[in-house]
Structure formats: structure tokens, C-alpha cells
Amino acid sequence: MVPGEPERVGAEVVAALRRARMRGIVQGLPVSPGDDVLVVGEVAHDVVFPGMAAVVHHGGAGTTGTALAAGVPNVVCPFFSDQPFWGRRVAAIGAGPPPLPISSLTRDELAARLVSVPEYRVKSAQLGRLLAVENGVKNAIDLIERCRSCG
């Protein structure tokens, strides 16, 4: 998902990565590639996310679920709908810092969250291991079947 002001957001993201002395893979923002920035189109998040130090994303339910399952810290930058909820949940379970609304995103704010990522690694990895063994689809089907028989 691309936020409003994609040029501003892209510039702030790249500057934050550099300020935090991190490399990044950027998807969906108009940024130039460099030695520290790889620009990609569509990628399989479940393949890429486990190799990341952290995942910075918009906080949609699907991306959040995939990032949590990857077992790496999440930095959620919500901009509408259910995204603020998922950002708050990520922080509440200790898998990432408090959400950074896209309207408040600056290089300093994002860099500070990126620098804080190590404090969320243990909890994120634990959660990733738990999600790896959970059969969520089967559990959901069982719950629906039980409710169906409730009357």
C-alpha cells in the first residue's frame, strides 16, 4: 500500500535507514536504489521477512501476520483503516515499538524506532516460533463448526 505523499515518505525512510546505519529493502515507495537501499516490486513476504533485522510496514492485517510469523521485530507506520489497531497490538505484545503514524513519520522518529529494534528481537522470535506451530486455519474452522452447532 502506498501512502499519501509517497515522495516525502520515501525520502524520510531512506534518510532514517542511513541515520540508523541500516540497509533496507524498499517496496512501494519512489526511492532510488543505492548501496544501502534495494528497491523491489512484488516479493514473497514470507520468504523475505525472516532474513530481515526488522520489518517496517503499514500495518495491514496480512503484512502484520506475515511479519509476526517471520519472528522479527515490526515497526508499524499506519495510515488508515485497521492499521492503527495492528500497530498497537504489535507494541502491546512486545514485537515492536509503538506505532509511528505515517503523518508523523520523520527520519528522526523512524531512525529512533529502527535503533530500538534489538530490544524486541527475543519476544519477536518467541512469537514467530509459536506461530510456526499453530494451525490457524484448522483452529478457525473448528471454532466456526463449534459455533454453528451452538444454535
Q: How many domains does the chain have?
A: 1
With a CB cutoff of 8 Å and minimum separation 6, the contacts of 15 are 107, 111
**In the predicted structure, residue 151 carries a pLDDT above the cut 70:** no
pLDDT of amino acid 2: 77
pTM for the complete prediction? 0.91
Per-residue pLDDT of 34-57, as tens digits, reads 999 999 999 999 999 999 999 999
Residue 121 to residue 128: CA distance in whole angstroms: 10
Range of the domain at 96: 6-148
**Mean pLDDT value across the chain:** 96
State the CATH number of the domain containing residue 90.
3.40.50.2000
| pLDDT tens string 51-106 | 999 999 999 999 999 999 999 999 999 999 999 999 999 999 999 999 999 999 99
